[in-house]
Chains A and B, each alone.
Chain A
Amino acid sequence: MIRMLKTIFLVERTDKKTLFALLAIAVFSLAISIYSYQIDLGNPIAEKSNESLTVKVALNKFQVVDATENGPGSPLYKNVVQQDHAYTKQGMALKVERPELYLESALRLTQLRKEAFTMDEYDKVADIMPQMIENELDYYYYSYLAQLDSPPPFEAYSYTQFLMYLLGFVGAFWFLIIAVYSSNIMIEDFRHTTLIKGYPIAFDRYVLAKVLVTWSITCLFVLTLLVFSLPYGFLGAWGTLSSVISVWNGEVEIHSVLSYSSFAIGYMLLLSLVAIVSSVILNVLVRNVYITVFIQLGLVALPLMFPRLASLVPWYPYHYVNFPALLRGESLLGAYPAELSASMGLIILSIYLVLLLALVKGFLSSGKLQRA
């Protein structure tokens, strides 16, 4: 077994596709690091400057009246007026560089919005306000920062924050990337059946070896991604391990950079395995690279095309391939909300993987190969 692993690895290592994929990931990672540094990613001064416009538009939907406590305006109107004030304060705090004031007004803003959701006539302004879960995530994030000793200064993301951003960005496409990469995993074997017959070994063990090698290459992809994102840290600041992010995972939670990154990387590696094993099965069944990719794409696209599926069949594994979206609580949005959390996805994908492996073991044999 070990010898076979080695042989397959030697073959795959010099495969042009693998080299190209490694190169592409390295270039992408490097480019996004440098670009993000250039645009000051995460700097609140750059990012908050256009948000106050939406409150101004919201105000425009109300008749202008006295907005003091005993004034005649509706509660929602008063709330929006206060939001406008909070924005002004926030903008001022940015200009005079007072982080604690900024944090205070940001917190106030999220609180006001939280109250607004339950008010009458909220529909009137719903389009131009952030969604409930977005606001909730902001609220928890700012509350966490507020109880620290010293609030963070106004700076672009440090490396640790950028890392979480990068994993969230790449994680969304990871399943598709690996599905495309592994789409020809068994095709060559069908073209040269003599090669595989040369091994005195059962077909399922051969498949297992092939899957393991391909999977270790995807681990190499993750490593490349991480290594080539380091320039961001060299250019800017490294940040501390205490950087946090707020995520939705059944409920809103605060995660440190370590727990978030290890979760994301673990999830990506699981996704790789699922993608590779389903590629094997599809390769054996349809014997065509493109159709393998099309079917994988179709399975992922299905819940996007029919959003109702989220509540009808919550166990459908492909709901869970875009885990960054789940962590942002996007399953709670839209016309058919359903509570799909990433940890649930971890369990469901693991079960799915076991089922797929059982399928390989039980139904695919080298007999299929001979007919190629």
Chain B
Amino acid sequence: MWNFIKWEVLQFIGNKKNQAVYIILLLLSLYYAVAVAPNYEPIEKVSRDEMQAAYDTREAFLESVEGRDQLYPLVEYAKFLFPDWNKLELQRVNALDEQDLAAYASATEDWYEFSNQTIYSSGDLFYYNPLYYTYGNRFAKDDGFYGYGYTASRFQDYTEGEHKLSYELFEERTAIQTLQRLLSDFLPFVILISSVVLTADIVLKDRRNPSLVKGFPLADWKRMFGKGIVAIVGSIAALFPLGAGLVLIGLREGFGDFMLGVPIYNTAMSIFNPGPELFTRIPMWEFLLLNLAFLTLWFVALVAVIILLSITVRLEFINIAVGLAIIFAEFLYFERAVSPFTDAYWYPTSYIQVGQVISGTRDFLYASQLFTMERGMLLVAGSAAVCILIILLITTNKRFSYTK
């Protein structure tokens, strides 16, 4: 068995296609670090101008209604509200002027909490940062609600934890924070697609040279097992070329640290009732480990599906097609805020975006409480187990030979 795995590893590494995948991943990550990451423009920027403008506008309004009574109720409301809002705004501006990052973090946390509660419950009286309102986005207000809550929770962590504060940290530009952002973005797709491409020919390649395989006196199911392990380890190894870009980002923007808090959307909260408990936090190392665990589960499931297809359908392009179909299936049925009308939480494919599942964003997007990490992991593991069982049933059949 051990010799067989060694032999498979050598074949895996020697495969031109696999080498190409690793090189492409390396190039992509370097491209991202050099060309994309520096242009990252978060909506919640540290921008003195923006704050000053908001402050001046409110100040001008307060002056214009100074000393007048018998005002329209909404104006009265604003008159009551703006002094508090501006007090926080002024604290932020002053902290920036004095380069006092700790004070800035604390004032910013208060500001986001205050703004979020005010704006979300005000109807159409106030708006979130205009960058949320892109052309055609019907859920801009909800996005703003999530974004402000997330930012408030983040800044609470900067205030309470012992981190080395910097502007890069505030704008989530450091290497580890970039990784965290990307895990909730397109990174799971890239990783899982490479896993599918790496695995696609691991069984079928033997059909070309059946005589080579006969050199190992090993039961077929053990071979499949060995191949599966090689494919999973190979997929995990694909994470290393991606790390190169992160090192590059880290050298330029700082690395951040593993104790940073990652806000997790608290699905038990009703979104109609924003409050301080909207987000809970877990440490960065825990978030990354959970992601790694979930991704590994997905590797197991995808590899199991591909091996199953390889011994039944036996066509390489079907392996790729089905693998990609699993990865992108959610786009077929995804719709925002449809939780009461969907049973999508029972589909394993709803849990492809592992970062979003773990941080609760998926729940937020579906407006649901059911897309939990635990359920996702169980579903994916269950599907993998079913595939593995079928593989065992087929390969232990005496008349079966996968090279025929």
Contact = CB atoms under 8 A, between A and B. Distances in A.
Nearest to A129: B135
Contacts of B138: 50, 53
A294 B24 CA distance: 9
Contact of A130 (B127, B135, B316): B135
Contacts, number: 57
Given A54-B135, A56-B124, A20 B318 contact: yes
B131 interface: yes
- The CB with the most chain B CB atoms within 10 A, among A54, A57, A61, A289, is that of A57
B133 interface: yes
- The CB with the most chain B CB atoms within 10 A, among A53, A129, A130, is that of A53
Binding site secondary structure of chain B: helix
B103 interface: no
Contact of A291 (B17, B35, B134): B17
Contact of B133 (A54, A286, A291, A294): A54
A149 interface: no
B31 interface: yes
Contacts of A61: 130
Contacts of A289: 17, 316
A: contact size bracket:
20 to 34
A53 B17 contact: no
A44 to B, nearest CB: 14
A128 B20 contact: no
Contacts of A129: 135
B24 A305 contact: no
Contacts of A253: none
A127 B20 contact: no
Given A17-B315, A53-B140, A288 B16 contact: yes
B77 interface: no
A176 B318 CA distance: 17
Contact of B135 (A127, A286, A305): A127
Given A53-B140, A288-B20, 17 more contacts: A17-B317, A50-B136, A50-B138, A53-B133, A53-B138, A60-B127, A60-B130, A127-B133, A128-B133, A129-B135, A288-B16, A289-B316, A290-B21, A290-B197, A291-B17, A291-B20, A294-B20
Interface of B: 16-17, 20-21, 24, 31, 35, 124, 127, 130-131, 133-136, 138, 140, 197, 208, 315-318, 321
Interface of A: 16-17, 20, 24, 50-51, 53-54, 56-57, 60-61, 127-130, 191, 286, 288-291, 294, 298, 305-306
